Amino acid sequence: MAYNFLIVDDSPPVRTVVRKAIGAAGFAGGEVSEAADGRAALELLKRKWIDLVLTDFNMPVMNGLELIAAMKGDADLGAIPVVVITTEGSEERVRELLRLGAAGIIRKPFTIEQVRSTLFHVLGVPENDEGSLDRGDEDLDF
């Protein structure tokens, strides 16, 4: 099964790294979209089918917290899981993110394995069931 992701971060290099981490984690088959802030993310979410959002916390225009709140308040977007990738580590902020509905938190700096484990958990893919993932061309063997 292929999953479509949306990466939301005001840092282009971070978006690149997260995109690569998604692929390296075994989710190469779906589409990965990007947005530089929460508002752009909301606009994109209205146009595209997204299975999971990975968002930064601290962004201009609309930050991660505001994005989660907006999504949870929308009947069409509320069920989409949101994983926050952030340097934010304060216990209070983490509690706030989870209270608002974040499905997971990945702290920077992160490893591929941490991304993989979180995505598997949030999407409900068994850790030993990588065969069910659509890896796109990765599976082709000539």
Partner 1 sequence: MKDLLIAAMKTSISEVLETMFFCPLEFEGPPTGQAEVPDAPLAARLAFTGPLAGVMQLQLSRGLALSLTADFLGVDREAVDDLRIAETVKEMLNMFAGNTFSRFDAGAVFDLGFPAMVGADAPRLATPAENRLAVTGQTLHGPLECELIVERNAWNCTEISAS
Rounded-to-10 torsion of CA 93, 97, 99, 105: -110
The smaller minimum CB distance to partner 1, of residues 73 and 89, is found at 89
Point out which residues pair with 34 in neighbouring strands: 7
By the rule CB under 8 A, 78 interacts with partner 1: no
Residue of 75, 79, 92, 140 that binds partner 1 (CB under 8 A): 92
Q: Please, what is the minimum distance in Å from the beta carbon of residue 22 to partner 1?
A: 13
Residue from 75, 56, 76 nearest 66 by CA: 56
Q: How far apart are CA 115 and CA 136, in angstroms?
A: 19
By the rule CB under 8 A, 93 interacts with partner 1: yes
| Residues in binding contact with partner 1, number by CB under 8 A | 23
By the rule CB under 8 A, 98 interacts with partner 1: no
The set of residues, in sequence order, having a beta carbon less than 8 Å from that of 89 and lying 6+ positions away, is: 107
By the rule CB under 8 A, 80 interacts with partner 1: no
Footprint of partner 1 on this chain (CB under 8 A)?
10-14, 16-17, 20, 58, 60, 86-93, 107-111
